[in-house]
Structure 1
Amino acid sequence: MSHAPASAPVVRPEARKEPGEVFGPGFTLFADMLLVGLLTAVACLPVVTAPAAFAAASASLRESAASGVQVRLGAYAGHLRARSTPRGLAAGLLPPAVAALLLLDHAAVRAGLPGSAVAAPALLLLALGAAVVGLRATALAAPGTLSAREALLRSCADPRGSALLAGALVLAALLVWSMPLLVPLLPGPLAFAATVMEVRYEAGRGAE
């Protein structure tokens, strides 16, 4: 008596992923990034809420990737409330402080003060590095975690990911300079880039 060969398990199209793909085709990337970008831009308006807003964006993207459900306003608001801790709001004072430092540096360069030609690019590189570490800090998986130390360690341990994230920041700055109307949409791709870097870093550590 012959037996029919067992059929191979059927893999649903939405479950397939290309090699190296993080979110899979079921992740509605464009729509989610647009919504997350707009929500994060609005949440950043008080300035001190910027780290919590980016952390909420990253958490929303992680949740959407895990469940396959599109980002919702209520889910984002819940993540934002969970991350609006005193520590997170205090971290929100750093971006305006860095911006003020860059403005002072620009004023020094225009005034032709001694050493300004060297200090200007050094401060720009320092600001770019701080932005990379800050973005990685907001993309950490643990709720309520905004650890600059952990983000700095990960940035150093993953130079390739940090370089890609720095490139994304430079591109965002160029877009702001050339097309200021895109500003409300840029937080989405930046949060996505930081989240991808962290997801890949965590997967790499888990495989060791």
Structure 2
Amino acid sequence: MSPRTQRRRRPEVDGSVLRWPGARARFALFGESLWTGALMALVCIPIVTWPAAVAAGSAHLRRFVHAEATPASEFFRDALRALPGAAGLGAATTVLAAIIGVDLALVAGGALPGGMPVAVIAASVGIAALALAVLAASLWSPGMRWRDLVRVAPRVAAADVSGTVYLLTALGLGGIVTWQFLPLGIPALGLVAFALVALGERRMLRWTEAAA
């Protein structure tokens, strides 16, 4: 038997099973991600609650990856715990999105001077704000203050540039599939939440190894 085959049959060689035992059942993990997307979609219905949905979805999949209990009731408890602070962030990002949308519409109609440069700046601000808000929501855990999460998110993004690029890619792909066919936004939510969890675990592992 070749060493490569042995490694494939023994995934614990790199410690992944010890760190993330719930990820060993890949199909179950994929199914849980889709289910999490459906739960997140319910919480997102009022729109301004979307950060609470991201926070609860990330916490839910993080528990699954670590082979902890993941009942739907715990997801909704997390969403309710996150909601008081998340609603403010959700309202702020919703208003910002509306303002940017109006600006882009005015630029497209020729009513706003500046043309393409204004559109690029507005879109860049919106994308950056969304990415930081999503990152802040993914860092949430019970007891954490949203003010602190919003404050630390830019530092986390700057400290993990490649992870930030992956985050933007995940958000972009989620947006594209949702734009192509709206119902696909439901599973896309779960897959984005899983990407957030994977990036968070990746950061922790890299920073732990760097500190060792």
**TM-score, normalised by the number of residues in structure 1:** 0.83
- Cα RMSD (Å) of the superposition? 2.3
In 2: Cα distance, 1:106 partner to 1:155 partner: 26
> Where do residues 120-159 of structure 1 align in structure 2 (5 Å cutoff)?
120-140=119-139, 142-145=141-144, 146=146, 147-159=149-161
Look up the equivalent residue of 1:198 and give its one-letter code: G
Look up the equivalent residue of 1:106 and give its one-letter code: L
Helix, strand or coil at the partner of 1:143: coil
What is the match of residue 34 of structure 1?
34
Cα distance change on mapping 1:134 and 1:103 into 2, 3 Å: same
1:179 is aligned to 2:177: no
1:165 is aligned to 2:190: no
In 2: Cα distance, 1:99 partner to 1:164 partner: 22
> Where do residues 95-106 of structure 1 align in structure 2 (5 Å cutoff)?
95-106=93-104
Look up the equivalent residue of 1:195 and give its one-letter code: V
The structure number with the bigger radius of gyration is 1
Task: Give the superposition deviation at 1:153.
Answer: 0.5
Structure 2, gaps ≥5 residues long:
1-8
Task: Give the superposition deviation at 1:101.
Answer: 1.8
Which structure has the highest helix share of the two? Answer: 2
Q: Deviations over 1:167-196 (max 9, x none)?
A: 111111111221122122221111111121
Cα distance change on mapping 1:73 and 1:50 into 2, 3 Å: same
In 2: Cα distance, 1:14 partner to 1:184 partner: 35
Structure 1, gaps ≥5 residues long:
1-12
Cα distance change on mapping 1:75 and 1:109 into 2, 3 Å: same
In 2: Cα distance, 1:81 partner to 1:199 partner: 24
Report the identity percentage: 26
What is the match of residue 58 of structure 2?
58
What is the match of residue 12 of structure 2?
16
Look up the equivalent residue of 1:142 and give its one-letter code: S
Indicate if the aligned counterparts of 2:44 and 2:53 stay in contact, CA closer than 8 A: yes
**TM-score, normalised by the number of residues in structure 2:** 0.82
In 1: Cα distance, 2:135 partner to 2:173 partner: 17
Task: Give the superposition deviation at 1:68.
Answer: 5.1
Task: Give the superposition deviation at 1:98.
Answer: 2.3
In 2: Cα distance, 1:65 partner to 1:120 partner: 40
Helix, strand or coil at the partner of 1:48: coil
What is the match of residue 108 of structure 2?
110
Indicate if the aligned counterparts of 1:53 and 1:80 stay in contact, CA closer than 8 A: yes
In 2: Cα distance, 1:132 partner to 1:29 partner: 24
Cα distance change on mapping 1:141 and 1:44 into 2, 3 Å: closer
